[in-house]
Structure 1
Amino acid sequence: MSLSGKPFDEKRDFIRMKIETPLEATLTGDGGTYKGICRELSGGGMQLELDDELAQDSEWEINIASNHGHSPQLRAVVKVVRVLPQGERFATGMQIIEVID
């Protein structure tokens, strides 16, 4: 079935998972590290809650940490596609460009 034939809620290529996982973000070439919470995750992107406002179209390396002290569960290069102020923080939508081993 094509995407146009699906109900609106199912038009995404990947299902979103609601999660609340700590993360670290490093700006590509910047070396700065920023912390936040990953609120949603799918095969194509993620929704983050960050203290800092990021520039749209900037690229980042994301490390979503394991709560059990293991190696990072996900390392990826992502691109900022949306930034929305939410009180003192920023809801930041990111597209996954590349998953890093």
Structure 2
Amino acid sequence: MSFHDQQYSEKRDFMRMKMETTATLTVLADNLTHSVQCQDLSNQGAQVLCPEGVSEGAAVELNIPSPTPGMKGLQAKGVVVRCQAEESGGHVIGVKFDSLD
């Protein structure tokens, strides 16, 4: 399928990878760290499932460990752009990256 054949909601300038991996999300203002499940990832941001809500606009750091020993994982700083409560009790959080390491 070409870019032009995709649904409008998927027309982005970057690829979004679906995934299910454990990560940590740290709210920088209070240094509070949450264990989260990363649901998708792109070079612009990520969507994670968190047991607690995080305020929109909060500065955060997302750390995704590498599954390969000796290889550096992803460390990104960004801002929460969306936090939506789920019926299951968790919160879906959208993070827009400011920097990647």
TM-score scaled by length of structure 1: 0.83
CA distance in 2, matches of 1:81, 1:29: 16
1:40-51 to 2 correspondences below 5 Å: 40-51=40-51
Partner of 1:96: 97
1:57-96 to 2 correspondences below 5 Å: 57-70=57-70, 72-86=72-86, 87-96=88-97
CA distance in 2, matches of 1:37, 1:70: 22
Structure 1 segments of 4+ aligned residues over 6 angstroms from their partners: none
Deviation at 1:68, TM superposition (A): 4.3
Query: Could you tell me whether the CA contact under 8 Å between 1:64 and 1:72 is conserved in 2?
Result: no
2:52 counterpart letter in structure 1:
D
Structure 1 residue ranges without an equivalent (≥5): none
2:95 counterpart letter in structure 1:
M
Deviation at 1:96, TM superposition (A): 0.7
Cα gap change, 1:84/1:70 in structure 2, threshold over 3 Å: closer, same or farther? farther
CA distance in 2, matches of 1:65, 1:82: 23
Structure 2 residue ranges without an equivalent (≥5): none
